Amino acid sequence: MEKMFCFQCEQTAAGKGCEIAGVCGKSANTANLQDELTGSLIGLARIVDGEAITKEMDAIIMEGLFATITNVNFDDEAIIEKIAVVREMKKSLSLGCDGCSTKCDKIVDYDMANLWNADEDIRSLKSLILFGIRGVAAYAYHAFVLGYSEKEINEFFYRALIAIGEEECKMEELLPIVMETGAINLKCMELLDRANTETYGNPVPTTVPLSIEKGPFIVISGHDLHDLKMLLEQTKDKGVNIYTNGEMLPAHAYPLLKEYPQLKGNFGTAWYVQQKEFEDIPAPILFTTNCLMPPKDSYRDRVFTTASVAYPELVHIGEDKDFTPVIEKAIELGGYEQMHHMTGINGGSEVTTGFAHGTVLSVADKVVEGVKAGAIKHFFLVGGCDGAKAGRNYYTDFVKQTPQDSIILTLACGKYRFNDLNIGEIGGLPRIMDMGQCNDAYSAIKVAIALSEAFDCGVNDLPLSMVLSWYEQKAVCILLTLLHLGIKNILLGPSLPAFISPGVLNYLVEKFNIAPISTPEQDLAKILG
């Protein structure tokens, strides 16, 4: 258990794979337990195949896949508990097998070593499927807790897991499943968009301050709006303010959440600088999803987790969602004694969010008119995951150098590289439009399709360029969605995934002309011709 193998995220060791410990902070033991959990999920999917699927099974699959995403679960005991739940469900579905001497799939979990040691192209395609469904599962889970689910999405998890565990699969059999992962993720993002907007209202453009008012407060990070809503309910009239962090920033744009006066602003910037920004913070931090880094001793006593997130010795808020310990810690710590001023990466004091598809499409006539009149010459979708690897200042420099007659659509935490920049407006529209969380790539897709219909052309014929950054598995499923839609000429960085083999990369280049980023100057010259 002192050795491991993991290459699912962008920061993987030497660009090849973590073998001693994860760069993310997980130990070899944790990584191997996550593999064991994945193997047990594949075993469960094999048993369920052809059987009646229940909501309980769906929840087990979603939560199990979610727990293996980068920067989610570092707690060995929590992972062991999830493995036990999967095996108990598996056992209940294989009654009568205990006395059988044949070690078939209904008894033995899949050994992930078979995947990591497979032919590199097969391993690459299966990794795309596995890492893709991990991202899809996270989105499906967020919709699930709001009471939204879709049979087609849930059933795909089982089929995809079975394919990963199939030893005789060939490239021509796996490629359609890779593309189907992108198609299913599109349906899942659409489902989550509907769940969020029907629950909290359609996002509206909102300017969010980065300063922190004096007095007790709580910082909430991650993606789960449901957890934020419950925290807001439980802090009513408590004298405790709430500040978002990271991917929770877009919550400020939802009308129902805006109604809570204690939702004040945004604390800090991107997730990867949390160990610096949370240093000696006089307030608790609640992590609702991934983006947790191993907490430093200076603030470890004030970090709380919930849902799939876990870390050894941190207080975990269970399914009852009683945030009393978090609220009490906020009151105990007292917050800042006076207004505390923070700034964005570029020194800005506020950021704007809320430009989801509902808002952008409501002014589609202005956008189309601007293009026809020549006021708007190009659209750039610059977004995705942020991370600590050197070279990500590329995205800041790229946006700074975009021409004044262009619009930048952005989403996910990659926007923190430039969302506090003031680069002006076009026809009353801001040049930078934050569309929301990573799952709100659905908004960008809706806008792109609407523009292609308005100009009677394909998406690839639009003056639209996608310059994306990736870090973890949600970015993988979004990339697969874009490929499923046939979108070409995507620039991807800061480096290409380690799990993409040369053979699979050649396929992506030939079919989709996907390419790595170079320099802002070179890429802009190439894009703008």
Q: How confident is the model over 437-457, as a mean pLDDT?
A: 96
Q: Find tokens 């603030």 and name the residue.
A: 299
Rounded to 10 degrees, the C-alpha dihedral 222/224/357/475 comes to 50
Q: Kindly state the average pLDDT of the residues 438-450.
A: 96
pLDDT of residue 389: 85
* pLDDT tens string 73-86: 999 999 999 999 99
- Residue located via tokens 């529209």: 429
Q: Is the separation of the CB atoms in 272 and 388 below 8 Å?
A: yes
pLDDT tens sequence across 203-222 = 999 999 999 999 999 999 99
In this prediction, residue 106 has a pLDDT band, given cuts at 50, 70 and 90, of low
pLDDT at 195 over 80: yes
Grouping H, G, I as helix, E, B as strand and the rest as coil, residue 501 is coil
Selection from 438, 396, 403 nearest residue 421 by Cα = 396
Please give the pLDDT value at position 105.
59
User: What is the reported pLDDT for 108?
Assistant: 84
Q: What is the pLDDT of residues 110-159, one digit of tens each?
A: 999 999 999 999 999 999 999 999 999 999 999 999 999 999 999 999 99
Cα distances (angstroms) measured from residue 355 to each of 159, 243, 336, 441, 511: 35, 20, 32, 12, 32
Cβ within 8 Å of residue 45, ≥6 positions away: 61, 157, 158, 159, 161, 162, 165
Residues contacting 446, CB < 8 A, separation 6+ = 357, 361
The one-letter amino acid at 468? L
Q: Are the folds of 206-333 and 355-528 the same? A: yes
Q: Is the pLDDT of residue 100 over 90?
A: no
Sheet holding 406-410, edge to edge: 432-434, 406-410, 378-384, 464-469, 491-493, 515-516
189 has a pLDDT exceeding 90 = yes
Q: Which residues pair with 381 in a beta bridge?
A: 409, 466
Which of 138, 143, 183, 137 has its CA nearest to residue 157?
A: 137
Q: Which carries the bigger pLDDT value, residue 100 or residue 311?
A: 311
pLDDT of residue 428: 87
CATH code for the part of the protein at 355-528: 3.40.50.2030
Cα angle value 267/294/335 (rounded, 5°)? 35
Domain ranges of the chain: 25-199, 206-333, 355-528
Burial pattern 429-445, b for ≥16 Cβ within 10 A else e, equals bbbbbbbbbbbbbbbbb
Q: Which CATH class is domain 25-199?
A: mainly alpha
Answer yes or no: is pLDDT of 375 > 70: yes
Per-residue pLDDT, averaged over 316-338, amounts to: 98
Q: What is the pLDDT of residues 405-430, one digit of tens each?
A: 999 999 999 999 999 999 999 988 89
Question: How high is the mean pLDDT of the chain?
Answer: 95
- Cα atoms in the 13 Å half-sphere on the side-chain side of 98: 7
Mean per-residue pLDDT, 393-402: 98
d(CA 472, CA 160): 19
pLDDT at 18: 97
Using the predicted structure, report yes or no on whether residue 97 has a pLDDT greater than 70: no
| Average pLDDT over every residue of 27-45 | 97
Of the listed ranges 48-62, 107-121, 372-386, 461-475, the one predicted with least confidence: 48-62
Note the CATH architecture for domain 206-333.
3-Layer(aba) Sandwich (3.40)
